Amino acid sequence: MKPNTQQLNDFVIQVRRDILRMVHAVNSGHPGGSLGCTEFFTALYQVILDRKEGFNMDGNGEDLFFLSNGHISPVFYSVLARSGYFPISELATFRLLNTRLQGHPTTHEGLPGIRVASGSLGQGMSVSIGAALAKKLNGDKHLIYSLHGDGELQEGQNWEAMMYAAAYKVDNYIATVDLNGKQIDGATDEVLPMGDIKAKFTAFGWDVLEITEGNNIEAILAGMSEAKSRTGKGKPLCVLLHTEMGNGVDFMMHTHAWHGKAPNDDQLAKALEQNPVTLGDY
pLDDT for the residue numbered 31: 98
223: pLDDT strictly greater than 90: yes
Mean pLDDT of 239-266: 98
* Reported pTM: 0.98
135: pLDDT strictly greater than 90: yes
112: pLDDT strictly greater than 90: yes
pLDDT for the residue numbered 1: 81
Confidence of residue 154 (pLDDT cuts 50, 70, 90): very high
3-state secondary structure 253-278: CCCCCCCCCCCCHHHHHHHHHCCCCC
Confidence of residue 11 (pLDDT cuts 50, 70, 90): very high
pLDDT for the residue numbered 74: 98
CA angle, 275 then 276 then 277, to 5°: 115
Distance CA 252, CA 244 (A): 10
Q: For 126, phi and psi rounded to 5 degrees?
A: -65, -45
239: pLDDT strictly greater than 90: yes
Mean pLDDT of 190-207: 97
Is residue 162 within 8 Å of 129, Cβ to Cβ?
A: no
Distance CA 57, CA 154 (A): 29
pLDDT in tens, 86-98: 999 999 999 999 9
- Domain spans of the chain? 5-273
Helix (H, G, I), strand (E, B) or coil at 67: strand
Is residue 158 within 8 Å of 114, Cβ to Cβ?
A: no
Helix axes 5-26, 217-229, angle to 10 degrees: 110
User: Nearest-CA neighbor of 204 among 155, 239, 242, 237?
Assistant: 237
Which residues, at least 6 apart from 179, have a Cβ–Cβ distance to it below 8 Å? 150, 197, 214, 240, 241, 242, 243
Confirm or reject CATH 3.40.50.970 for domain 5-273, answering yes or no. yes
**DSSP string spanning 3-66?**
--HHHHHHHHHHHHHHHHHHHHHHT-S-HHHHHHTHHHHHHIIIII----SS--TT-TTS-EEE
Distance of CA 260 to the CA centre of its chain: 16
64: pLDDT strictly greater than 90: yes
Sign of the Cα pseudo-torsion (59, 65, 71, 76, in order):
negative
